[in-house]
A = this chain, B = another copy of it.
Amino acid sequence: MIISQENIQKVLYELFVKYNFTKEKAQLLASVFTESTLDGVSSHGINRVPLFIEHIEKGVIKIDAEAEKVASFGSIERWDGNFGPGIINATKCTNRAIALAKQHGMGLVALRNTNHWMRGGTYGKQAAEANCMSILFTNTKPNMPPWGGKDSRIGNNPFVVSIPREKGNVILDMAISQFSFGKINDYRLKGEKLPFHGGWDDNDELSNDPDKILSKERGLPIGYWKGSALSMVLDMLATILSAGNSTYRISSKDIETGISQVFICIYPEVFNDSELQEKLMDEIIDYTHNVEPINSEDKIYYPGERSSQTRTKNLKDGIFVNESIWEKIMLLSKK
């Protein structure tokens, strides 16, 4: 079904107010869930709302909790999220990293005891709109085996890099897994195989068969051994800098919570050459854009370009929302 941005925003805002969030927080939560859906990332937008409410009801996400600073030194700070909503904590810490960057050239905020930030790109965009570059990452529960191992003991640890640009911000938002389990399930529902290996089957063989991969959740890191190592070091950085939970410690809980995140922002305007920066960005984008495609009908994109196009389309035509998700939200709203 097609729903307008205004309507999604309104329904979610009222839902969150009903669940005892302050008006300000309900507004922020509704806005982030709606914006992600508008950008075409429903999987971390509206589709996540029922699970978000479930985690509130279970007490995993604390409605009233606020992230607070626990230590600081120069341009780096350590915050405790006190198990508040991931969106609210991550928004606050991104803002703090932006402020540090504007003061010191760059800033880093490490956040512990937070919850899922939903779409990581949200905060990359937030930084870019404040004219900052950002490097952001989070750890997760284990969902991929370390290279060569049988069991999932590393996280897919989403990683975000953003660069502000007048003609369209560049925003990379990727998990370290080759495919998310949500995406693998989409292939399963369509009765299709994955285009590349996506995880291990029950015989510990790499597989592109959604059914076989989904029988146990053992995802494949990007670049095999390389992504396995990258996942480990991101977990180490987030854990040590926040003195928070590692993927190992998160694994002991039934529900993924109390995770650790890092927000690095850099303010390139301190170098007073914005025009040159814009020119250099355009050169890189033009050079990659203008490559001859392997399939003549294909187009090469820069990171973030397609979600920006989806946004433009959805603003015009309205947003597609899965009916059963919308029904669940309606039910929660009337509960």
A163 CB within 8 Å of chain B: yes
Q: Give the B-binding residues of A (Cβ under 8 A).
A: 71-76, 78, 103-106, 108, 133, 135, 145-151, 153-154, 161, 163, 170, 172, 174, 178, 196, 204, 222-224, 226-227, 229-230, 232-237, 239-241, 243, 246-249, 251, 264, 266, 268, 270-271, 273, 276-277, 280-281, 283-284, 287-288, 291-295, 298-300, 302-303
Task: From B76, B230, B237, give the contact of A174 (CB < 8 A).
Answer: B230
Is B74 touching A232 in the complex (CB atoms < 8 A)?
Answer: no
Q: Provide the bound-state CA to CA distance between A268 and B236, in Å.
A: 12
Residue ID in chain B nearest A276 by CB atoms: B243
With contact pairs A226-B178, A303-B232 given, residues A266 and B280 touching in the complex (Cβ less than 8 Å): no
Check if A226 sits within 8 Å of B291, measured CB to CB.
Answer: no
A222 and B55 CA atoms in complex are apart in Å by 35
Asked if A235 and B291 make an inter-chain contact with CB atoms under 8 angstroms apart, the answer reads no
Instruction: Let me know if A266 and B292 touch, CB within 8 A.
Output: no
A163-B237, A233-B170, A237-B133 known; A106 vs B149 contact (CB < 8 Å): no
- The reply to whether A302 and B232 form a contact with Cβ atoms under 8 Å apart is yes
Per assembly, the copies of the chain total: 2
Instruction: Pick the residue among B149, B163, B298 that contacts A291 (CB under 8 A).
Output: B149
CB neighbours of A233 from chain B (8 A): 161, 163, 170, 172, 303
Nearest CB in chain B: distance from A192 CB, A:
17
Residue from B148, B223, B248, B284 in contact with A293 in the complex, judged by beta carbons closer than 8 Å = B148
CA distance A163 to B235 in the complex (A): 11
Q: Is the CB of A133 within 8 A of B280?
A: no
Distance A161 CA – B241 CA, assembled complex (angstroms): 14
Q: How far is the CA of A71 from the CA of B272 in the complex (A)?
A: 10
Interface contact A133-B163, CB-CB below 8 Å: no
Please name the residue on chain B nearest to A200 by beta carbon: B294
Minimum distance in angstroms from A93 CB to a CB of chain B: 15
Q: 11 more A-B contacts (CB under 8 A) besides A71-B271, A149-B288, A222-B227?
A: A75-B106, A105-B108, A149-B300, A150-B291, A151-B291, A163-B236, A222-B224, A236-B281, A240-B281, A247-B287, A248-B287
Closest-CB distance, A150 to chain B (whole angstroms): 5
Contacts of A76 in B (CB 8 A): 104-106, 266, 270
Complex formed: what's the CA distance from A303 to B233 in Å? 8
**Pair A133/B240 contact, Cβ less than 8 Å:** yes
A247–B105 touching, CB < 8 Å? no
Tell me the smallest distance from the CB of A119 to a CB of chain B, in Å: 16
Cβ B75 vs Cβ A243 within 8 A:
no
User: CA–CA, A111 to B276, complex, Å?
Assistant: 16
